[in-house]
Amino acid sequence: MQKTGTDNEQRERLSSIKDGPWICEGRFALDQLNPKTDLAPVSSSSQVCKLEDLILVERDRLLDEKLRISLRDHRISPITLNSELKLRDSLDWALTYFQLLELALASGYIELSDEHRTEIRSSLLSVLWSKSVREFVSTYGYFSVLSLCERVGIKIEGQFIPIQKSKDEIGFATFLCAYREWISDKSIEEWLGFLDDYRFRGFGTKALLSFLNSGELPTGGNKIIEEHANKIAFGAYHSVTLLANLFSSINDDDAKFAYGLFFLYWLGKLFGQNVPGVVESAHDWSQDLAQKFGTSEIDEDGFETNLFLIDLQRVRDTFKYTVKRLEIVRTKYNQSC
């Protein structure tokens, strides 16, 4: 039977989400989490699934106890073992796929057919059967994963953050393109790596602060470290300009909130603002970046302007909007409980 154009388009769109580095990078975590408990009946069921009611086989219960250690809150107990870092990094990628699915569904980029619903439920259950993973999702603010669970009839512990359907298909396509560029840029990768723990390639916060504000490193002119400092600085620059271009193309408030949530962890790190349940940050790097890249230019009409500062303000505005709306949604959710 020949497929309609709409069917073919939906398959192509779904393939564009499945065809990404988040799939291969997340494979290790999926293999480690692969449950022995038979979840097929729950996956195909039309009934709401309460994850806390799942009856797990002994092997999975024991595995979950081990995962509780590996997936602990790093702000309470730092992660030092390479094996734990590898699992956590891979799980981040696996969860990224679910976030992209939710954003695609919320925007209308893909439709939730019965076939897709069963497939998504099965994929979610293969990871979220573990209470330790569910706590990881809640601890690090994977709001889109919580919303996706709600969308396909899975009840998960944590604060449900509804993302309304905005029907902004073009906006999602723009976002997906921008995100692919974001994760493929090596300088952005080094900037995010530095932000995540404030130490990288042999130097830390003090050294980068010195470089951004004075152009010099307190290391006596080590060329290798200076090259990495330059790469991190320009990674920060590129990340701001890329996000500014993305956010400037979004006019729908629901879409702005959804994409702001997606990048919220990194925005909190950039602007040095704590966001409960998402990120703790101690330093506002935007001020130092403004010092480094805040030189003025003369536009074609003879007016003095600074495109980076404009981009930085656009990103800051989206961050503030996202945090404010998140607080409102959380308050409404808590009042309804």
Angle at 90 between CA 84 and CA 91, to 5 degrees: 90
Q: Does the structure show a pLDDT above 70 at 218?
A: no
Q: Would you state the pLDDT for residue 215?
A: 74
Distance CA 283, CA 249 (A): 29
Which has the minimum average pLDDT: 31-45, 76-90, 118-132, 162-176? 162-176
Rank 92-101, 144-153, 292-301 by mean pLDDT and report only the highest. Answer: 92-101
Q: Would you state the pLDDT for residue 189?
A: 92
Q: Does the structure show a pLDDT above 50 at 172?
A: yes
Region 242-250: what's the mean pLDDT? 95
CB 30, CB 127: distance < 8 Å: yes
For residue 328, the Cα-to-chain-centroid distance in whole angstroms is 21
**Domain range annotation of the chain:** 5-155, 169-336
Nearest to 160 by CA among 148, 178, 176: 148
Region 162-175: what's the mean pLDDT? 80
Note the pTM of the prediction, 2 decimals.
0.87
Distance CA 134, CA 146 (A): 9
CB 242, CB 259: distance < 8 Å: no
Q: What percent of the chain has pLDDT over 90?
A: 54
Higher pLDDT, 336 or 74: 74
Q: Residue 163 — pLDDT band, cuts 50, 70, 90?
A: low
Q: Residue 300 — pLDDT band, cuts 50, 70, 90?
A: low
Q: Residue 268 — pLDDT band, cuts 50, 70, 90?
A: very high
Q: Would you state the pLDDT for residue 203?
A: 60
Which has the minimum average pLDDT: 1-5, 81-85, 283-287? 1-5
Q: Which residue has 């699934």 as its token pair?
A: 49
Distance CA 147, CA 258 (A): 11
Which has the minimum average pLDDT: 49-63, 113-127, 227-241, 273-287? 273-287
Q: Would you state the pLDDT for residue 212?
A: 82
Higher pLDDT, 224 or 24: 24
Higher pLDDT, 178 or 165: 178
Q: Which pLDDT tens digit goes with each residue over 43-57?
A: 999 999 999 999 999
Taking all residues of the chain, what is their mean pLDDT, rounded to a whole number? 87
Q: Would you state the pLDDT for residue 1?
A: 37
